[in-house]
Chain A
Amino acid sequence: MIPIRANTRPDSRSSLQDADCKPFIEVANYIAGTAGAFIAPADADSPDTLSFPIDCYGQLCIPAISPDSLNPGQRKALEDLASSLARMFAAKKQSASNANTASLTAEAQEKLDKQRAFYENILNKLPTDIAVFDANHRYLFVNPGAISNEEYRKFIIGKDDYEYVAYRNRDINIAHARRAKFLETKNSGKEIRWEETFLDPSGHPLHHLRRMFPVYDENGQLSMVIGFGMEISDRKALEEKQARLVRQLSTQNTQLIDFCTIVSHNLRAPLVNISMLVDLLSTSRDPDEHLLLFSKLRPVLENLHSTFNELVESIQIRQNHEIKSEKLSVQDCLSRTKENLQAEMQRLDAEVESDLELAPVINFPPQYLKSILLNLVSNALKYHYPGRPPRIRVATKREKDKIILSVTDNGLGVDLVKHRDNFFKIGKVFHRHPDAKGFGLFMTKTQVEAMGGRIWAESEPQVGTTFHIEFVNQQNCLS
């Protein structure tokens, strides 16, 4: 017997018993004139068989027969049969393996789908918006947090912001801005963060913190850019509240320091002067000297009295959080101011002109606006340039939700380079005027600041002064 070794391995013994083999076995028996042909695995090594190699599966075995009993025609026919058998098995194996692969893929696919659903579920449910871009800023993925409408969400895949903006008929600047951020990430190779504010459909501002970072493949090539944003309106509101509180505190602290300075200086000064004068009075025996010292007491006492009253009033203004603003006609207030100052205006041949058309109405506490106008206009009269009839101009204008009121005069002016820090302080006097007490501007400033506004001045000596007052929260006066 000549064993003919198969050089291939069977990988499915069961398939050797397949019914498909039967016709081959019968043909083999017929050719060899025997009745026991079988197919053996490649590793079977039976001494009593004549084997023909079947590629892939093993050997076609003809038992109990010597090789010499087969003529070359029979041998050739059996070899051909074996190779046909091999081809059949090969074909079967291929289709089996295909089927195998197909079933494996289906299984893997199901698993992948589950995984994908799992991750997408997470991405879709996250309270953030997520967008993934390819290296050319085309969308690979967006979650419903980013685009809630499913149709739009499907549309955007494979497109860029310019196509999307055109599709949704939106402002192209949105696309410009997003492209700029994308390029910033792409070019820097780093994560970037920024804050964005836009209005929700009902017009409320929404604040978002956005982050974008590049992702690289194993070759260091940019494979995608991931962007996500989180709504931080609550945090933003808290931050703003804190910032407001800090501002408020620092203002109050400044006021407190000012107040201490006023008490330690402006109140102490007249007090020690009185005590010195009384001291001298008690030791002096000269009646003339008595009269002199006594005459010096009264103005000091008056000064102390006024300072004290101003202080009390300023504290009342600062603590009066209940005070109500009203829509006031600036023209009406100004007319009343002019009536109050009529005598002085006539004496000086003064004129007050007004330009109030841009903002004729101001929302402010009536007594404050009255006091502010009276102070500024009477200051302009008091510090007029000698021999020059006072020309006073009162004007208003809008700036967003604010109104600026300006009072300009052609009076003495003040060197603000020297006096900038002291201009609005209590008891500061810049001119030799008998009525100059240094209270007016301090009170005006207190009233303006109590309502959240600002006051500042421009001035040139011998030319004149302009005071500007900013009134805030004037939305309802702007229409």
Chain B
Amino acid sequence: MSSKAGFDAKEFTDGELAIDHLRAICDKPDLLPDIIFLDLSMPVMDGWEFLEEYSQLQDNLKKKISLFIVSSSISPEEVERSKNYAVVTDFLIKPLRAGKIEELLAAG
């Protein structure tokens, strides 16, 4: 359905798989994504750990990437905590509607 909407998406089941992938392609702008949607609750490496690693990796990324936390968490502490990371564009609370994603893509 993503391809039908005119874009391509890659999915990773945990933070470690995602960060490994990003490290491998960090100097290839045409392979790097425009947007990252990050879940917080994941096995092995959760969203917060991913943010730590990603913050260090960011300078080596040959592309400007928007990062949105997408979580079903409604905890204000987590929203506050996400503000400590400059790499985070916004904190989106699920449920997300298709329209919201299109809106973000248009803005990006």
Within 8 A of B (CB), among A245-283: 261, 264-265, 268-269, 271-273, 275-276, 279-280, 283
Given contacts A272-B94, A436-B43, contact A261 B72 (CB under 8 A): no
Closest residue of chain A to B78 (Cβ to Cβ) is A265
Interface-lining segment among A33-41, A195-203, A221-229, A427-435: A427-435
Chain A residue with Cβ nearest B42: A429
Is there a chain B Cβ closer than 8 Å to A168's Cβ? no
Binds A, one of B30-38, B54-62, B81-89, B95-103: B95-103
> Shortest Cβ distance from A29 into chain B, in angstroms?
125
Find out whether the CB atom of A272 lies under 8 angstroms from the CB atom of B95: yes
Give the complex CA separation of A289 and B98 in angstroms. Answer: 14
A273's partner among B13, B43, B74, B94 (CB-CB below 8 A) is: B94
Say what secondary structure dominates the interface of chain B: loop
Chain A neighbourhood of B97, CB < 8 A: 276, 279
Contact B72 A268 (CB under 8 A): yes
Task: Tell me the chain A residues, 413-442 only, with Cβ under 8 Å from chain B.
Answer: 418, 427, 429-432, 436
| Cβ–Cβ contact A286 & B94, under 8 A | no
Q: What B residues does A271 contact at CB under 8 A?
A: 72
Interchain nearest-CB distance for B63 vs A (Å): 28
How far in angstroms is the closest Cβ of chain B from A385? 15
Our pick among A286, A427, A431 for the contact of B1 (Cβ within 8 Å) is: A286
Asked if residues B1 and A265 are in contact (CB atoms below 8 Å), the reply is no
CA distance A283 to B99 in the complex (A): 11
Interchain CB contact under 8 A, A276 and B95 = yes
| A94 vs chain B, min Cβ distance (A) | 99
Q: A272-B95, A276-B94, A418-B49 are in contact. Are A432 and B72 (CB under 8 A)?
A: no
Q: List chain B residues, Cβ under 8 A from A329.
A: none
Number of interface residues of B (CB under 8 A): 17
Q: How far is the CB of A307 from chain B (nearest CB, A)?
A: 12
Q: What's the nearest-Cβ distance from chain B to residue A6, in Å?
A: 108
Of B49, B72, B98, chain A has the most CB atoms within 10 Å of the CB of: B72
Judge if A292 is at the interface, Cβ distance under 8 Å: yes
Q: Are B41 and A265 in touch, CB under 8 angstroms?
A: yes
The listed residue (A261, A264, A279) touching B95 by CB distance below 8 A is A279
- 1/0 contact string of A460-475 vs chain B (CB within 8 Å): 0000000000000000
Q: How many residues on the A side are at the interface (Cβ–Cβ under 8 A)?
A: 24
Cα distance, A272 to B97, chains bound together (Å): 11
Contact with B along A201-233 (1 / 0, CB 8 A): 000000000000000000000000000000000
A271 to B94, CA, bound (A): 10
The docked-state distance in angstroms from the alpha carbon of A276 to that of B93 is 12
Q: How far is the CA of A229 from the CA of B65 in the complex (A)?
A: 74
Q: Tell me the smallest distance from the CB of B15 to a CB of chain A, in Å.
A: 11
The minimal Cβ–Cβ distance linking A299 to chain B, given in whole angstroms, is 12
In the assembled complex, how far is the CB of residue B46 from the closest CB belonging to chain A, in whole angstroms?
A: 8
CB neighbours (8 Å) of A261 from chain B are: 75
1/0 contact trace for A352-394 toward B, CB 8 Å?
A: 0000000000000000000000000000000000000000000
- A100 within 8 Å of B by Cβ? no
Report Cα–Cα, A431/B16, bound state, in Å: 11
Query: A272–B98 contact, CB under 8 A?
Result: no
A273-B94, A279-B95, A289-B1 known; A432+B43 contact, CB < 8 A: yes
Binary contact track A96-134/B, C-beta < 8 Å → 1, others 0: 000000000000000000000000000000000000000
Q: A432 and B41: CB pair below 8 A? A: no
Q: Say whether A264 contacts B43, CB under 8 Å.
A: no
Lowest 7 CB-CB distances: which A-B pairs, in order? A429-B43, A269-B72, A272-B94, A272-B95, A276-B95, A272-B72, A289-B1
Given contacts A269-B73, A269-B94, A276-B97, 9 further A-B contacts (CB under 8 A): A265-B41, A269-B72, A276-B96, A279-B98, A289-B1, A289-B4, A429-B43, A432-B44, A436-B43
Which residues of B are interface residues toward A (Cβ below 8 A)? 1, 4, 13-14, 41, 43-44, 49, 72-75, 94-98
A-B contact pairs, 17 of them (CB 8 A): A264-B75, A268-B73, A269-B73, A272-B94, A273-B72, A279-B95, A279-B97, A280-B98, A286-B1, A286-B4, A289-B4, A427-B41, A429-B44, A430-B44, A432-B14, A432-B43, A432-B44
